Structure 1
Amino acid sequence: MDERIAPHVEEISRALGNRYAEEIRIELEKLLQFKVPLDEAKRTILNRFMSRSPTSVQVKDLVSGMNSFDITGRIISIEKRTVTVQGEQRSVFTGSFGDGTGICSFTCWDDMSLKAGDAVRIKNAYTRLWNNRPELYFGKRSQIEKLPDGMVQGIEEMSHQNLKKLQDIAPADVVANSIVVIVEMYHRDVPMKGKLLTITEGVIADETAKLPFTSWTPLKGADIGSFIRFEGATVRIFRGLPSINFSESTAVSVISQPEDLPFTLESVSKASDPVPIGKVLEKSGIFDVTVAGNIISVRPGSGMIDRCPVCNRVTQKANCRAHGSVDCVSDMRIKFILDDGTGSLHVMLNCELSEVVYGKSMYEAEKMALESISKEVVYDDMKRVLTGKYIVIRGNSSRNEFGVTLVAKSAWYPNTDLKERISSLLERIEGKVIDDG
């Protein structure tokens, strides 16, 4: 072995549990022959061989409830806090951890002598759900191995230079950088410390996805159609759906559209082709997704309902859970199960979309209910009209304890020919038969 690379091979092998030394040597020599910088070559090899281990994960793979895994990266920030647990005061260490695939928050309940900038391999780590996102946890049952500095990306590169596509922003991410186009933008005044603060909200997009954003600082020179590059934006998660937040610490710049950018304002503004429901079920939440399928069940709670005039909650016998007895406001909605053969999900339609899909206005529905002296007649009629219908829905999906729900923004019956759909279905079935052997 070349004596010049022997120490580096040993470093990488040690970080991987003293394994793969000969394979590491071959890969390292090959990368160096192609003039790859040494530190980058070492990081590449480390990530490649880590993926072989069933216990090794990366930040982008973190989900709630994971146990006994290994993860390699860098402590980006860390602070010591005092908290009260069961009446006793304890020290806890919190901060952020990154590995090049993402940056997550962490909590450590023991003093592991860590400081910001440390490159480490954490063995026997686990995750818990905190603030709607998976958070990395480790402590005295974990093992911390310090790594040579060059084997892990630097803090500046992870925090500000690693650009992500919007679809790759993971539930564990607390910070994100990307290049996007603004497709929706509006301003809103919110009370803040006794004053009104004007914030900017809207939707950003690239060729992979769309996400909502909020800017707590003025976006100078930005408007609908502007291409922007942002670095150090915070990611918030609600019911599995990410949103991007710009603050004073976020670097946001308006840029001219790069020639090699694979999307335009026009391309991202169009409704996407329907995504298989099975793919939607794999995600915790998707912003602005289109699905198509058959309505297999219209659920209870559909039809004529009453809402609280204050909080808009559905009331029961003129009583709101938050405001007690109220003068209710009439409304109409549809809740149904949509299935496309790859999976099924719950769909919610508001009054406006319910009128379009059902084919009757709320006035007509109210008239039906009055004539029969029962609101159930509307629900029964919806089941008769809608069950079995093939429909396309566009909206936002999110996951809760009951499964995945798609709140519709638009809905329509497609003009596709039934024979074409049957042919497409047969092709899928035949393809699956062939793939299964």
Structure 2
Amino acid sequence: MTTDVASTASGIVEQFSDHADIDQDEVESDLKELVGEFKVPLDEAERTVRNNLMDEHGIEQGAVTQSGAAPDSEDLSDDEFSPTPVEDINEADEWHDLLVDVIELWDPSHPDMAQVGLIGDDTDIIKFVIWENDGEVPVELLEEGETYEINNVVSDEYNGRYSVKLNSSTSITQVEGQAADGRSDNVVVDGVLVAVKSGSGLIKRCPDEDCTRVLQNGRCSEHGEVEGEFDLRIKAVVDNGAVAQNVVFDQEATEDVADIELEEAKQMAMDALDTGVVAQEISNKVLGQYFKIEGPELGQNVLVENATATNSVDDDQIQSLQDRLQAEMAETSAGNDSQQADAAA
């Protein structure tokens, strides 16, 4: 073990040689403490020490990897865009280009985390993270549902699960009118609609041609402050007792299952001076209904093309399914927090 620690310490010093003067004895001591006293696996200890050194010397995340320094900017700019299939990302600390859809955005669980979520193509999905650098966000934030060409992301690994980090070496181009085709063939799911998620109801989208971004506080991340065009959607969870499935209803599907028209929803919001009444009305109509749904899978979501309500389920059954869903979400959140805390270490 002593030989392995010494070799790892030597490798870390070499990786930082272009950035800082690192004392190998101190690195070796830190590794021994993590491995010997805290029983941290050597590869995880190496990652922790590297991240601590980057913080200590003000070196940006991704500038140094276990493979050495990041490619320099001239090399990056000269490279042609050559996307890696997501399913082929199976090693840590490698550089990739990606053509992906943004499947889902999560709430960051670390103060230095600017954005986190899932991206995917037609081969697989993968977690992505954007870390702040001294309070600055190094790249443009991504929009859920949009497609991007992303140059130069670095892969990471935790407990056998791979993710990618976007940093100042990364360049991002939104692809208009082109999809990464992360959708599968149509699938059929059925179950009780047990939850209506945030972002459902009456929303506004950017009116700019070819832009469908959902506005946040009246602003499009690409086009700034715009008037916006109203739309309806439902982001929900359908549970059949064995599997809980995220589903997304577009305007047409929402109008069908909730028996509400867009103009009616706009009038409701205007009368109440609150768009939240629309989400509540929709929730009242669909919650507890048993649906048979057909549509393509996009990451963890099924995009509803056809939905048939078969019958209602009693309150006790709904509560039982909701309790199971909340337990699963809590377990998933705990796993994500553990992974993100390790990445921030």
Fold shared by both chains (TM-score > 0.5): no
TM-score (norm 2): 0.40
Larger relative contact order (C-alpha < 8 A, sep ≥ 6)? 2
Larger strand percent: 1
Q: Which of the pair has more CA radius of gyration? A: 1
TM-score (norm 1): 0.32
